[in-house]
Amino acid sequence: MKKETKISDFISSFSFDQRLAEYDILGSMAHVKMLSKCKIISSGDGVKIINGLKAILKGLNNDKKIPKQEDIHYAVEKELIRRIGPVGGKMHTARSRNDQVSLDLRLYIRDEIRQIYDLLADAQKSIISQAKKNHEAVMPGYTHLQPAQPILFSHHILAYAWMFQRDKERLKDCYKRVNVLPLGSASLAGTSFPIDRKYVAKLLGFRGVMNNSIDAVSDRDFVVEFVFALSLIASHLSRLCEDLIVWSSAEFGFISMADEFTSGSSIMPQKRNPDAAEIIRGKTGRVYGDLITLLTLMKGIPLSYNRDMQEDKPPLFDAVDSMKSVLEITAPLLLGITVNPEKMLEATKNGYICATEVADYLAKKNVPFRTAHKIVKDMVKYCIKKNIKLDELTGAELKKFSKNFNKDISSFLKPDKVVYMKSSEGGTSPKSVKKQIKDLSSLL
Ligand code: ARG
């Protein structure tokens, strides 16, 4: 049976923008206060409208839904008029849905930025707590996923806490551009009513007003920018989860995840799969998709407002919902990790991980680093052939490679000694890592 498509349903955004109801009402309250202060409407009418809006808001808080209209802006207005009569129609004086929708989005995003900022701080706290608990656990550091140099586990996970710090700064910076008032631009041209935009900005906590009414109704940079910030958070989390997944595999065994973040297999009874971390990793694609949707949506549409822009909300809400659900479990997931320092140390025996240290040892004895690099490369080749480790070379064998080798080389071959040598600022030595923890904690 062919179902009739109703054009009004097709045009409507109510199914998704009704979640902006509260912001729409708060924005309208400030607008009406201004209309009445500027004597554009009488103070009596202003009070009636504001009381009506308050009643709608109260209803919403008690789960009383506003009946469906073309969009949330019409729905609130219609409901207001139903409650207080035609005077409710004065609310829309000196504004348009074009500046109104931008205002609602800005109020919504401001709130979400604050919440996501706090969730990132929670994740940082979990990392700091793990870094303190396992401060001196030594593990192989990898480049190209090949053993590279010994590092501290605490150093490795703190790298993520610094990424989250940048994510927080990015959100803060984005907030600055979100936090400007578009209202008062009306459709696109401004208005002939004697409005006071600065007053509305003050009432709603905006740092200022948008300078160009056409820009104000056309701009969705702040949505794109915010979803980009979320995308980068997703990228960071996907890398973190990849590390956790690899480390928790039987082959690595560096960590185990708390049971509640893993699940079994329906067929293989022995399995504990890192599902939560995998889903976090998987959400990244979804959030990138939202970003690409927004960028594509905004490409090439003429100024000023176009109805295409209504399609900004589903990807925005999806990105926010996805990232909040992800971030809400990130902090407990990180806190629930158990580290196996023995396994980590054991793994540092593979892959000639102290080779760079040996080259540095020679370089410190005045051998040009490039020559030292070649000497150690030959040493490693020799060891691979003999199937031995660097610390199994005899004194005589070492001397054959370079007369500069002395007994003191032995500590340069021990991963748990080598990490102490990396005392440069920001390096992996326990002392440097301690300073990192202090510096980061002071930023939280
Ligand atoms: N529902 C619309 C949106 O989300 C509101 C603005 C409509 N403006 C207009 N001139 N049709 O973008």
**DSSP string for 120-137:** HHHHHHHHHHHHHHTTT-
Mean pLDDT of 309-324: 98
User: Concatenated DSSP letters for 192-245?
Assistant: SS---HHHHHHHHT-SEE-S-HHHHHH--HHHHHHHHHHHHHHHHHHHHHHHHH
- CA–centroid distance, residue 186 to ligand 1 (Å): 12
Mean pLDDT of 387-403: 94
How confident is the model at residue 337, as a pLDDT?
96
Q: Residue 293 corresponds to which tokens in the numbers above? A: 């949707």
| Nearest CA, atom 3, ligand 1 | 310
- CA–centroid distance, residue 115 to ligand 1 (Å): 27
Q: How confident is the model at residue 271 (pLDDT cuts 50, 70, 90)?
A: confident
Distance CA 24, CA 18 (A): 9
Are 364 and 159 in contact by the 8 Å Cβ rule? The answer is: no
Q: Is residue 242 scored above 90 in pLDDT?
A: yes
Residues in the chain: 444
Give the number of the atom of ligand 1 that is nearest the alpha carbon of residue 305. 10
Q: Are strands 180-181 and 208-209 parallel, antiparallel or unpaired?
A: parallel
Q: Could you identify the residue written with the tokens 């080259």?
A: 359
Of 97, 98, 304, the one to substitute when testing ligand 1's pocket (max ligand atoms within 8 A of C-beta) is 97
How confident is the model at residue 138, as a pLDDT?
97
How confident is the model at residue 209, as a pLDDT?
98
Distance CA 27, CA 204 (A): 7
Burial class of residue 430, CB neighbours in 10 A (0-12, 13-18, 19+): middle
How confident is the model at residue 272, as a pLDDT?
83
Give the percent of the chain with pLDDT over 70: 99
The CB of 14 under 6 Å from ligand 1? The reply is no
How confident is the model at residue 1, as a pLDDT?
53
Q: Is residue 307 scored above 70 in pLDDT?
A: yes
The CB of 161 under 6 Å from ligand 1? The reply is no
- CA–centroid distance, residue 372 to ligand 1 (Å): 68
Q: Is residue 225 scored above 60 in pLDDT?
A: yes
Give the percent of the chain with pLDDT over 90: 94
Q: Are strands 146-152 and 180-181 parallel, antiparallel or unpaired?
A: unpaired
How confident is the model at residue 3, as a pLDDT?
63
The CB of 283 under 6 Å from ligand 1? The reply is no
- Kindly report the backbone phi and psi dihedral angles of residue 350, in degrees, each rounded to the nearest multiple of 5, phi listed first: -85, 155
Distance CA 238, CA 236 (A): 5
- The per-residue pLDDT for range 189-205, each reduced to its tens digit, is 999 999 999 999 999 99
The CB of 309 under 6 Å from ligand 1? The reply is yes
Q: Which helix (H) or strand (E) holds 339?
A: strand 338-339
Q: Residue 256 corresponds to which tokens in the numbers above? A: 């185990």
| Nearest CA, atom 7, ligand 1 | 97
Distance CA 329, CA 86 (A): 48
Are 387 and 406 in contact by the 8 Å Cβ rule? The answer is: no
- CA–centroid distance, residue 216 to ligand 1 (Å): 14
Distance CA 161, CA 127 (A): 7
- The per-residue pLDDT for range 16-45, each reduced to its tens digit, is 999 999 999 999 999 999 999 999 999 999
- CA–centroid distance, residue 232 to ligand 1 (Å): 29
The chain-wide mean pLDDT, for the chain, equals 96
DSSP 100: H
Q: Residue 300 corresponds to which tokens in the numbers above? A: 């090439």
The CB of 104 under 6 Å from ligand 1? The reply is no
SS3 148: strand
Nearest Cα to 20, choosing from 141, 104, 122, 114? 104
Q: Is residue 178 scored above 60 in pLDDT?
A: yes
Distance CA 190, CA 183 (A): 9
Domain range list for the chain: 9-93, 98-132+148-345, 347-443
Write the single-letter amino acid at 227: V
Q: How confident is the model at residue 78 (pLDDT cuts 50, 70, 90)?
A: very high
Peptide bond into 235 cis (omega under 30): no
Could you confirm whether domain 347-443 is CATH 1.10.3720.10? no
Distance CA 325, CA 363 (A): 51
Between the alpha carbon of residue 369 and those of residues 120, 339, 361, 374, the distances in Å are: 42, 36, 10, 9
- The per-residue pLDDT for range 329-383, each reduced to its tens digit, is 999 999 999 999 999 999 999 889 999 999 999 999 999 999 999 999 999 999 9
**Second CATH level (architecture) for the domain 98-132+148-345:** Up-down Bundle (1.20)
How confident is the model at residue 5, as a pLDDT?
66
- The top-level CATH class assigned to 9-93 is mainly alpha
Distance CA 333, CA 258 (A): 7
How confident is the model at residue 183, as a pLDDT?
98
HSE-CB at 377 with a 13 A cutoff on CA atoms is 6
How confident is the model at residue 270, as a pLDDT?
79
- CA–centroid distance, residue 27 to ligand 1 (Å): 16
The CB of 154 under 6 Å from ligand 1? The reply is no
Alpha carbon 218 to its chain centroid, in Å, reads: 26
Q: Residue 402 corresponds to which tokens in the numbers above? A: 């370079």
Q: How confident is the model at residue 2 (pLDDT cuts 50, 70, 90)?
A: low
Q: How confident is the model at residue 167 (pLDDT cuts 50, 70, 90)?
A: very high
Which residues are known catalytic residues?
A: 144, 265
The CB of 307 under 6 Å from ligand 1? The reply is yes
How confident is the model at residue 269, as a pLDDT?
74
